[in-house]
Amino acid sequence: MNVLIARGKEECPSWTDVAVIIDVLRGATTACALLKRGKRDVLLFNDVQKADAFLAHHADFEAFSDEPLTASHADNSPYLASKSVARQPGLLLASSGCKASWDVRRAGVVLLGGFCNFYALAETLTSQPKDVLLIPAAMFGPGNEEEDLLCAEALKDFIQGVGMPECALGDFGNTMRMVEFHKNGPKTAEKDSRLAFKINGLPVVPQVTFAEDGAYAVCHPYGSPAHWLEVAKPAVAPAPAAEPAEDPAQPAAVQEETPAQEPAQAKEAAVKTSSLKSLFGGLANSVKEEALSLKEKAAEAAADPKAAEAKSKLKGFFSDIVPFIFP
């Protein structure tokens, strides 16, 4: 396995192996926070109009975007994502990260990462049999996000066994990027930074799977299915059978009624009933013969009071059982 770092956007469209979008501030970190929160479905959009059209029919989705949307949404903030409702599906539009994802959509596997899932991502990549292209999302944005390139270089070095992510954070501390982000960034800039630069603080690896039409993608934990793609498949109803054309010149044929044949179950029940009658008939004959024999013995011992009592009990017993057999 070779680990490469993209140095220009032109390298992305033709890549077909494993691609990793590094978007530290903030797209990849927000995606990790949403999945870590427990959301099963997180949809990615790369187009504002398509995102708005989707949200117009799916009000149950929590939307996070750094682009202005008509629909209600929160900022593309890892901190806000970490406070989202776990049972609600999510939607994410991160301008740089999503643009990079769509540009490399031909890749066999597309993952998202940063410092927040550094070790989990490194472990996933070392198990890949194919080459890996690390893509700093800064190439698709304003171009001053040094943290993406520093993270990509640190990840490559770590996989090759020659570096640690803490060194990259030390180098990042010598830039003005963090100061500018806290000063001119969103209201949640400081809280977002804490999540983004806590090494492996969100140990989940988001995988991006694109819809067939490319209108959106599903962000799901690596190794788990893209649930929404299965749910969103339209049910295809079978085509109704074509009715035969009626010939007005000929009257409809009258179907002759045929006597219904006796069902197989009814025949089987009749056989069982006949067998039972034979069984109980034989039993009744045996009982009657036994009763005659006992009556004869009872007559011989008529002088004995105990025998008389036995005779009375036998009469009662057989008067009960015979009607049961022949109701």
Give, for all 327 residues of the chain, the pLDDT tens digit. 899 999 999 999 999 999 999 999 999 999 999 999 999 889 999 999 999 999 999 999 999 999 999 999 999 999 999 999 999 999 999 999 999 999 999 999 999 999 999 999 999 999 999 999 999 999 999 877 899 999 999 999 999 999 999 999 999 988 999 999 999 999 999 999 999 999 999 999 999 999 999 999 999 999 999 988 887 654 333 444 444 444 444 444 444 444 444 444 444 444 444 444 444 444 445 444 544 454 454 445 444 544 445 445 444 443 444 343 334
pLDDT at site 144? 73
Alpha helices in the chain (DSSP H): 27-37, 48-57, 78-82, 95-103, 118-126, 146-159, 165-172, 177-184, 189-196, 227-231, 264-300, 305-325
How far, in Å, CA of 269 to CA of 196, rounded? 76
pLDDT at site 233? 56
Asked if 127 contacts 173 with a C-beta cutoff of 8 angstroms, the reply is no
Report the residue count for the chain.
327
Buried/exposed 91-123: b ≥16 CB within 10 Å, e otherwise: bbbbbbbbbbbbbbbebebbbbbbbbbbebbbe
Could you name the CATH architecture of 3-231? Alpha-Beta Complex (3.90)
How far, in Å, CA of 257 to CA of 254, rounded? 9
Place of tokens 């690896």: 205
Tell me the DSSP string of 74-92. B-S-HHHHHTS-TTS-EEE
pLDDT at site 148? 97
pLDDT at site 312? 52
How far, in Å, CA of 9 to CA of 196, rounded? 24
CA–chain centroid gap for 210, Å, is 16
CA angle 11/15/20 to nearest 5° reads 90
pLDDT at site 188? 97
pTM given for the model: 0.71
Maximum distance among all alpha carbons in the chain? 128
How far, in Å, CA of 129 to CA of 162, rounded? 21
Locate the domains of the chain by residue range. 3-231, 264-325
